[in-house]
Amino acid sequence: MSAILPPADRLWWKQPIGKQEWMWIGLAFTWAMIMFVMMIYWHINGKQNLSTETYKSTPEMFAAKAEKFIAENTVRTETDQNIPVVKANDKGEVYLTASLWKWWPILELEKGKTYKVHLFSMDYNHGFSLQPTNINIQVVPGYEHVVKMTPTQSGTFAIVCNEFCGIGHHSMLGRIYVK
Q: Is 6 in the site for other proteins (CB under 8 A)?
A: yes
Contacts of 147 (CB under 8 A, 6+ apart): 50, 51, 53, 116, 117, 119, 137
Angle subtended at Cα 72 by Cα 116 and Cα 127, rounded to the nearest 5 degrees: 40
Closer to other proteins by CB, 95 or 124: give it. 124
Site for other proteins in 138-167 (CB under 8 A): 138-145, 147-153, 158, 160-167
Q: Is 60 in the site for other proteins (CB under 8 A)?
A: no
- 45 by DSSP, 3-state: which? helix
| Plot region of 69 (φ>0 → left; ψ -120 to 50 → alpha; else → beta) | alpha
Q: Is 123 in the site for other proteins (CB under 8 A)?
A: yes
Site for other proteins in 76-105 (CB under 8 A): 79, 81, 83, 102
Q: What is the dihedral of CA 105, 108, 114, 117, to 10 degrees?
A: 0
Minimum distance of other proteins from residue 25's CB (angstroms): 6
CA atoms within 13 A on the CB side of 169: 13
Contact with other proteins (CB under 8 A) among 59, 77, 84, 135: 135
Q: Is 134 in the site for other proteins (CB under 8 A)?
A: yes
Q: Is 48 in the site for other proteins (CB under 8 A)?
A: yes
* Separation of alpha carbons 36 and 30, rounded Å: 10
Minimum distance of other proteins from residue 57's CB (angstroms): 10
Q: Interacting stretch for other proteins, rule CB under 8 A, among 4-12, 59-67, 69-77, 91-99?
A: 4-12
Q: Interacting stretch for other proteins, rule CB under 8 A, among 21-29, 59-67, 68-76, 90-98?
A: 21-29
Q: How many residues does the chain have?
A: 179
- 61 by DSSP, 3-state: which? helix
Closer to other proteins by CB, 48 or 90: give it. 48
